[in-house]
Amino acid sequence: MLIGDLDMSVSEEWLKGLIETELATIDHKATVTFIRQRLVEPHVVMRDWDYGSPGQQYPCWTTFEDPNWDLALAYCNEGHGPRRPWGMVSMSEGGQPASMGMDTSWHPGFVAAFLDSGVASELPIWRVYRQNDDRTFTPMTAVGEWKTAWESRDHLAEHPKDTRYYVLDSLRDPNQWLSP
């Protein structure tokens, strides 16, 4: 149901339930605590849809904010949604109208959007994976800090040059979400 430009099938309670369902899948207490500290009461921000007509906007429900990163996570079932309704958006926009941003900043789930954000780099949940010839992934390092994982990845990538290494979070199995 639409009231003005606002899709009323989305509500504060519905979003809170959706986030709680996703947080229940994380088996890392520190990550869940970290996220919960940044959750905000869901509220609508009208954001410019940069791929449409000039001035076209959609209601985006802000649910997470980290001022240190000028980052919010928002839900919008218009624009990049419904396939990718969770997006990383700027909190401030430097005085400019709020924008939904690029499609690469939008994800199918809240946790996926969080883990793709720079904010997640503050957590010790990172490890290096090697992509095998069959496109599956094998963990190559212990779980640790973002910077350490990237240093390890750079070291591993030196030899042999034809092997691909990726720094990925350890909360999800890349063989479930990245492999064919």
CA distances from 50 to 58, 87, 117, 125 (A): 10, 14, 20, 33
- pTM comes to 0.88
> Strands 6-7 and 39-48, how do they pair?
unpaired
Whether 150 and 77 map to the same domain: the answer is no
DSSP characters over the chain: -EETTEETTS-HHHHHHHHHHHHTT---HHHHHHHHTTEEEEEEEEEE-TTSSTT-EEEEEEEEEETTTTEEEEE-SSTTTTTS-EEEEES-GGGSPPB---GGGEESSHHHHHHHSGGGGGSS-EEEEEEPTTS-EEE-S-SB-HHHHHHHHHHHHTSSTT-EEEEEESSS-HHHHT--
For the chain, list residues with pLDDT below 70: 1-8, 93-97, 179-180
* 100 in the same domain as 86: yes
Same domain for 108 and 137?
no
Looking at the fold, whether 107 and 37 belong to one and the same domain comes out as: yes
Q: SS3 for 66-100, per residue?
A: ECCCCEEEEECCCCCCCCCCEEEEECCHHHCCCEC
Residue 104 and residue 136 in one domain:
no
Neighbouring-strand partners of residue 7: 2
Based on the fold, state whether residues 165 and 95 are members of the same structural domain: no
**Chain segment 146-166, per-residue pLDDT in tens:** 999 999 999 998 887 778 999
Total domains in the chain come to 2
Of 103, 121, 139, which one is at a domain's C-terminal end?
A: 121
Same domain as 95, residue 65: yes
pLDDT, position 57: 93
Task: Based on the fold, state whether residues 67 and 138 are members of the same structural domain.
Answer: no
pLDDT at 3: 41
In this structure, the answer to whether residues 16 and 97 fall within a common structural domain is yes
Which tokens go with 85? 């309704």
Query: Which of 76, 93, 121 lies at the terminal end of a domain, its last residue?
Result: 121
Q: Could you tell me the residue range of the domain that residue 58 belongs to?
A: 2-121
Q: Are residues 22 and 88 in the same domain?
A: yes
Assess whether 73 and 156 both reside in one domain. no
Residues 135/100, Cβ–Cβ less than 8 Å: no
Domain end, chosen from 104, 121, 138, is at 121
Instruction: Give the sheet arrangement for strand 164-169, strand by strand.
Output: 137-139, 126-131, 164-169
Considering the domain architecture, whether residues 64 and 135 belong to the same structural domain is answered as no
